């Protein structure tokens, strides 16, 4: 009797172990299959991300090309000097002036809107004396600007005494390939020793 029970127990144990082994084998196959699918999906995601990055780069390049086709590009050739309070037999200049002369050309394909020169100038000890945008004078000689109420009043009074007027700060446009001649003075307080003069414009009318 005991031998039968032992035999049955061993048979049951063998069947149980076999069932467990079969179940584990089955689920291992399922897990491996799912892992393989996950790896495949991750590869697809990586490929799609690369495609998105490439398309984004292409869009950026196209936008850049479109901007180049529609915008102005100002190139300046300028002489700049700080001129002291010189005088003649008829006139006395109580203020220093930054004299700017030369040309500005729109080398872009599109029109340069509200084109001008942004002028920033400092004294030797770092005091800001000029920070303004003046228009391209386009052939007018000796156009004069002030930087504050005192220099504006001086320029206005002095200019009117010789039948001239203070320069307008109204900016103009420059067609593609057009060159503007610059000849202007900016009267200011103090004496400037370093400056930057940068051509500026807008791609579209403002």
Q: What is the pLDDT of residues 132-187, one digit of tens each?
A: 999 986 667 778 899 999 999 888 887 666 655 677 888 989 999 999 999 999 99
pLDDT at position 29 is 63
How far out from the chain centre does Cα 26 lie? 61
Gap between the Cα atoms of 113 and 20, Å rounded: 81
pLDDT at position 81 is 95
Which phi-psi region, left, alpha or beta, contains residue 166 (left: φ > 0; alpha: ψ -120 to 50)?
Answer: beta
pLDDT at position 205 is 67
* Residue 91 token pair: 């006139």
Length of the chain: 206
Q: What is the pLDDT of residues 101-139, one digit of tens each?
A: 999 999 988 889 999 999 999 999 999 999 999 998 666
Confidence of residue 25 (pLDDT cuts 50, 70, 90): low
Gap between the Cα atoms of 54 and 206, Å rounded: 34
Is the whole model's pTM more than 0.75, yes or no? Answer: no
Residue 93 and residue 80 in contact, taking contact as beta carbons nearer than 8 Å: no
pLDDT at position 102 is 94
* Residue 80 token pair: 């700049």
pLDDT at position 69 is 47
pLDDT at position 119 is 97
- Highest averaged pLDDT of the listed ranges 6-10, 52-56, 69-73: 52-56
Q: Return the CA Rg of the chain.
A: 40
Residue 187 and residue 151 in contact, taking contact as beta carbons nearer than 8 Å: yes
Helix (H, G, I), strand (E, B) or coil at 184: strand
Which is it for strands 179-188 and 143-146: parallel, antiparallel or unpaired?
A: parallel
pLDDT for residue 75 is more than 80: yes
Sequence ranges of the domains in the chain: 1-70, 74-202
pLDDT for residue 4 is more than 70: no
């Amino acid at each position: 009797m005991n031998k039968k029970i032992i035999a049955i127990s061993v048979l049951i144990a063998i069947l149980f172990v076999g069932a467990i082994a079969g179940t584990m084998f089955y689920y291992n196959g399922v897990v491996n299959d799912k892992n393989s699918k996950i790896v495949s999906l991750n590869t697809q995601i990586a490929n799609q991300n690369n495609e998105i990055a490439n398309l984004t780069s292409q869009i950026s390049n196209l936008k850049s090309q479109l901007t180049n086709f529609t915008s102005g590009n100002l190139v300046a050739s300028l002489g700049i000097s700080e001129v002291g309070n010189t005088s003649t037999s008829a006139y006395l200049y109580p203020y220093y002036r930054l004299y700017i002369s030369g040309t500005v050309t729109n080398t872009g394909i599109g029109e340069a809107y509200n084109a001008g020169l942004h002028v920033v100038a400092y004294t030797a000890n770092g005091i800001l004396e000029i920070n303004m945008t003046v228009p391209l004078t386009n052939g007018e000689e000796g156009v004069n600007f002030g930087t504050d109420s005192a220099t504006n009043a001086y320029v206005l009074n002095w200019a009117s005494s010789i039948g001239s007027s203070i320069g307008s700060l109204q900016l103009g446009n420059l067609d593609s390939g057009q060159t503007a001649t610059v000849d202007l003075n900016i009267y200011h307080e103090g004496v400037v020793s370093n400056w930057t003069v940068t051509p500026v414009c807008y791609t579209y009318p403002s």
